[in-house]
Structure 1
Amino acid sequence: MPLRLFLIDAIGPFFRGYGKRRINWSKIPFTHLATTGETRRTQWARIRHDLRRFAAEVSAMGYNAVTLDDLAHLAPHPLHEPEIAARIEVFREEFTQLFAILHEFDLKIYLTSDIIPLTPAIDAAIGDDREALELYFLDLVDRLLTDFPELSGLILRIGESDGVDVKDPIHTRLHLTSPQQTHAMLRRLLPVFEEKERDLILRTWTVGAYPIGDLIWHRQTLARALEGIDSPRFIVSMKHGESDFFRFLPLNRAFFRISQPTIIELQARREYEGAGECPAPIGPDCERFARELEESGNLIGMSVWCQTGGWHRFRRLPFLEEAGDDSWVRINVQLAIRIFRDRASVESALSSMFPPDKADAVAELLRHAETIYRDLIYIEEFARQKLFFRRVRIPPILHIYWDCLFINHAARKLMRHFVTDPERALRSGEAAYSLFPRMIELARTAGLPATDIEHWRDFCNLVRLARRYYFLPYDEALLDRIRSAKSGYKRAWPREVRSRYRIKLSFQPFKLKRRTLGWLSSLLLRRQRGYRWIDQVFTLNLLGMMFRLIKTSNPKVLPKFLRKSAMGVETLFR
């Protein structure tokens, strides 16, 4: 089936001048957008300038649609507070101009929406009345599609809502908690989209909350949610793996189990791999996914994230930077569409993207970067293990989380528990690290930012020292070397000059015996997708109740980064 939809996210222009130290890149920061005075005029003029630049570049590459946030900030409702209604009116005026720019470049426009967005006034008026909440949301959708005929449709996210850091008075919360509720909601929504001839794109991404939380990988949950859904306006959007955007995950088999048209989600600005600060090639994975998906028969397109995703300090805005600072993301964006649309190989695509004297250098550089990730950033033996906790697949990397590297005794115990061949892990990591001199040389030959490789080299030096700490016998001299390397990294890359990783050191003993860790692992984690009887009785039910009781008695029992990022770890226990 020839692909027809090539989506790319376009939220970068809205982050220009956003001053927060650690940024939530999951959605446009609407509270940062001015709605009055000269500040409004200058800020929105810059957004229009940036969006035009972005649209010109991505449309020239072959992308034919963009995603923008979001329904809640463009759809008025009689119950809205006056100040919120006034802000929405300004956003509607400004977005109308942005939509016109995108249409100049023949780009379709899809708005995102969580289910369900609320304000304090709406929450007070409707409360927990499920029927009233769904009628309210249907009204929002109908109003939006009626008022903006230039929209091609909506992309609905049902399994994640706004992060705990979002202070916007328009705030989303999880509403659909089961596949049956999801199925019923789709049945109510689709007639609106069919009547107005717009697309409803359902994302299967979830963060593990409630029975719907395994939608991304559980075949029965997905089947129940989509049973009998047959509409020319309905599309299912899925991340390529059964977890977030990580390596080592096999292609999600759900692509082959449903009959509805699908699109595959890819991430060019890898949120767990430096967010554009260093090369994080996706070409080989794209080739593999495209080849496998030829057998699915229902893939109609792809959705590439080039600016969205993660909670971190990395600040580059792809397609809006100067001096090649977006080179690594730009390469991924180009490779993705050439591989999926044109069925090109990585090598042939690069040959068409770079002059002959540089293409070979870029290809070799990206191959080495792939080795760095697979043999040093990730620990392969752990990454290849299929592990589930409650309704989520455990990520294949645990010691690096967005912009943080954790070198502590807890990580050491976990890695020593799950990795049975530490010598191989150490050898492969050291061998991968030895590639950096050649990579710096190749970057200079190709005219790519060699400084980025130098920064990555210094960070990866800490990664390999962390691996030694995880797997070698305890050695005070190694701890001193790690502390010294952290200080050197911070001196070499001052925060004022560039965004950098945070290195979280703690060598205090983690008071959990190895035997206890093994027992807890076998109790809480499983290596199969299906639920065991212990999951049905304890992990999915009693454990959630226990967690809520502990959290109520001691709200700070968990580390701050688990409580204050994304939706908070308590989401896993709903």
Structure 2
Amino acid sequence: MPPSLRLIDAIGPFFRGYEKSRINWSKIPFEHLQTFGPDREAQWTRIRADLTHFCHEVRRIGYTAITLDDLSHLARHPLHEDDVAARIDAFREEFSRLFDLVRASGLGIYLTSDILPLTPRLEVSLGRDRAALDAYYAELVEQIFSDFPQVDGLILRMGESDGNDVRDPIRTRLHLTTPDHTNRLLRALVPLAEKYQRRLILRTWTVGAYRVGDLIWHRRTLARTLEGLDSPHFIVSMKYGESDFFRYLPLNRAFFRIPHPKIIEFQARREYEGAGEFPCPIGTDCERFAAELKQAENLVGFSTWCQTGGWHRFRRLAFLPEAGDDTWIRLNTHLIHGILGEGQTTDEVIRHHFGVERAAEVIELVRHAETVVRDLMYVREFASQKLFFRRVRIPPLIHLYWDCLFINHPVRKILRHLVRDPERALREGEAAFALFPRMVELARRADLPVDDLEHWRDLCGLLCLARRYYFLPFEEEIVSELRVAKSAYKKRWPKTVRQRYRIKLSFQPFRVKRRTLGWMTGLLLRKKRGYRIIDHVFTLHLLGFIYRAFKPRRKQDVPKFLRKSAMGIDSLFH
């Protein structure tokens, strides 16, 4: 039976006019939304028009419900500060109107929620009393179910909280630290979903913090967390792999281990692959996962993130009028729905979406684009390795992260240590880059954004040079070539024309000997999911204590993107 729950995030309309140079795309920027004054009506009128358009577009594709942020800005509490309470009242009024128009479009509504949202006054009042905090959160959940009958359910994110850059007075923090505590809270919340005939969806995504940080891949942690939760109103939502939305990840085996109703998550606006600036199609992965999932029990749906995810400067908004070109986001959104929802192939989805007249050119372009992503943006041999550090699986992409390309000596040393066949890595990269003339020609013939392919080509030219720096013997000539190429890239794609990657060049020596690097990786990294004795003794416990006791005090000791983006590197060592 085809999956009945087909979710898609609808936060794009709330980013209109949001002019920060680097945007946190993980949640609606509530501090940007007007709740008082003359600009409020104009802003919310535009949001309603955009959301109406969005709903029409995704409903036409076949999606059945949208997701919106979030519980914390719609639930009242007596301890809220006066200004916070006033803003929440305004949000409740405006979102109630939005909910009505979404329901009128024929779509369901799911609200997201981090566990746990607090304000300064609530933090002082409730402190660290777990029972009081659990009861407080249950009150918020029941209030949402009671006050907003338009809402079909809640989507709970328990393993990640607001990023370090969030300045909203309502901030979330990690509250659930163990599987048993998570289970107790869920056992209190599920009866509320049953009482109000709603759904409670738990996302297993975590960033590796605390003992529950391996929930996404550790079978015993997952089993203890879900023990006794067998309600039809409770659903488990999992990303397709054991890490974030990267390539080269096998399907998470938890889909075959737990009997609960479950949905699988995909990302159409690929946060680590250009965020819609150029084609990074995921049809092959979707087809592979769909074939494997035929053996999974109780798969009830899938979730597509078409706007959510990442800290970067790329600004393309999906499925909105006059918001720029969202061709590649739309392509992935159609691929996810067509393959997972309708049982189609990539080629069939393309024929349906682009029409038979352009299908041949688009199909060939998509196949070449997947090759470029896999063989040039990723280093295949490194990406294919299964490596774990503490409670997280190491991402298969380390030199490209959000909108940054890192070309430096530490990356070079790590890749040279972990990649045993550098000549193959060089050949694969050069062969993939050679596909660009054909791809540009295909885009022009199919009336697709040629400018996007040319930008991607110039970025990948830098990636080819970076690969030579990573894997060939060091020469000053390659340093000069990289600097010239960086300048040419910035000149060819000025900020006034389009958003571009930040090229982070640094050739300062990384003074760790190869033998020491081998010893460190052997100690800190493991190739199996299960923990070693050294992990129980050192990596999971003592190392966290050492980091917290001696972590860098100066800002310059930790790269800015590790300090400012997401939850910061500190979360890895809880």
Structure 2-normalised TM-score?
Answer: 0.99
Tell me the amino acid that sits aligned with residue 400 of structure 1.
Answer: L
The match for 1:267 is 267
Deviation at 1:357, TM superposition (A): 2.0
Deviation at 1:129, TM superposition (A): 0.8
Query: CA offsets, 1:186-244, max 9 Å, x none?
Result: 10101111000000000000000000000000000001101121101000000000000
SS at match of 1:231: coil
Q: Does residue 197 in structure 1 map to residue 192 in structure 2?
A: no
Q: Does residue 478 in structure 1 map to residue 474 in structure 2?
A: no
Deviation at 1:556, TM superposition (A): 4.6
The match for 2:6 is 6
The match for 1:48 is 48
Q: Does residue 337 in structure 1 map to residue 337 in structure 2?
A: yes
Query: CA offsets, 1:32-51, max 9 Å, x none?
Result: 00111221011111111110
Q: Does residue 187 in structure 1 map to residue 182 in structure 2?
A: no
Distance 1:552 1:559 in 2: 11
Maintained 8 Å contact 1:65/1:108: yes
Deviation at 1:496, TM superposition (A): 1.1
The match for 1:558 is 558
Distance 1:6 1:254 in 2: 20
Distance 1:61 1:51 in 2: 15
Tell me the amino acid that sits aligned with residue 379 of structure 1.
Answer: V
Tell me the amino acid that sits aligned with residue 224 of structure 2.
Answer: R
The match for 1:158 is 158
SS at match of 1:175: coil
Maintained 8 Å contact 2:552/2:558: no
Deviation at 1:558, TM superposition (A): 1.9
Tell me the amino acid that sits aligned with residue 30 of structure 1.
Answer: F
SS at match of 1:538: helix
The match for 1:449 is 449
Tell me the amino acid that sits aligned with residue 319 of structure 2.
Answer: F
> Counterparts in 2 of 1:362-373, with a 5 A limit?
362-373=362-373
Q: Work out the number of aligned pairs and report it.
A: 574
The match for 1:170 is 170
Distance 2:500 2:560 in 1: 20
Query: CA offsets, 1:376-430, max 9 Å, x none?
Result: 0000000000000000000001000100000001110001000000000000100
Deviation at 1:105, TM superposition (A): 1.2
Maintained 8 Å contact 1:117/1:173: yes
Distance 1:473 1:322 in 2: 49
Deviation at 1:89, TM superposition (A): 0.3
Maintained 8 Å contact 1:324/1:449: no
Distance 1:321 1:96 in 2: 23
Structure 1 residues 64 and 136: alpha-carbon distance in aligned structure 2, compared to 1, 3 A threshold: same
Distance 2:234 2:195 in 1: 13
The match for 2:525 is 525
The match for 1:491 is 491
After superposing the two structures, state which structure 1 stretch, 558-567 or 450-459, moved more. Answer: 558-567
Distance 2:562 2:493 in 1: 27
Deviation at 1:341, TM superposition (A): 1.5
Maintained 8 Å contact 1:164/1:565: yes
SS at match of 1:150: coil
Q: Any gaps of 5 or more consecutive residues in structure 1?
A: none
The match for 1:287 is 287
Deviation at 1:446, TM superposition (A): 1.2
The match for 2:504 is 504
The match for 2:327 is 327
> Counterparts in 2 of 1:210-249, with a 5 A limit?
210-249=210-249
Query: CA offsets, 1:440-481, max 9 Å, x none?
Result: 111111111010000000001001100000001111111111
Structure 1 residues 174 and 540: alpha-carbon distance in aligned structure 2, compared to 1, 3 A threshold: same
SS at match of 1:37: coil
Distance 2:186 2:519 in 1: 42
Tell me the amino acid that sits aligned with residue 503 of structure 2.
Answer: I
Q: Does residue 569 in structure 1 map to residue 569 in structure 2?
A: yes
SS at match of 2:38: helix
SS at match of 1:225: helix
Tell me the amino acid that sits aligned with residue 208 of structure 2.
Answer: G
Deviation at 1:553, TM superposition (A): 4.9
Maintained 8 Å contact 1:551/1:557: no
Maintained 8 Å contact 1:214/1:221: yes
The match for 1:140 is 140
Tell me the amino acid that sits aligned with residue 464 of structure 1.
Answer: C
Maintained 8 Å contact 1:324/1:448: no
The match for 1:412 is 412
Tell me the amino acid that sits aligned with residue 91 of structure 2.
Answer: F
Deviation at 1:516, TM superposition (A): 0.5
The match for 2:396 is 396
Deviation at 1:323, TM superposition (A): 8.3
Percent of pairs identical after alignment?
64
Distance 2:402 2:206 in 1: 18
The match for 1:278 is 278
Distance 1:35 1:342 in 2: 41
After superposing the two structures, state which structure 1 stretch, 18-27 or 315-324, moved more. Answer: 315-324
The match for 1:468 is 468
After superposing the two structures, state which structure 1 stretch, 356-365 or 299-308, moved more. Answer: 356-365
Deviation at 1:555, TM superposition (A): 5.7
Deviation at 1:321, TM superposition (A): 5.1
Query: CA offsets, 1:153-208, max 9 Å, x none?
Result: 00000000000000000000000001101111110101111000000000000000
> Counterparts in 2 of 1:79-158, with a 5 A limit?
79-158=79-158
After superposing the two structures, state which structure 1 stretch, 35-44 or 58-67, moved more. Answer: 35-44
Tell me the amino acid that sits aligned with residue 149 of structure 2.
Answer: P
Maintained 8 Å contact 2:53/2:321: no
Structure 1-normalised TM-score?
Answer: 0.99
Maintained 8 Å contact 1:407/1:466: yes
SS at match of 1:316: coil
Distance 1:351 1:316 in 2: 24
Tell me the amino acid that sits aligned with residue 473 of structure 2.
Answer: P
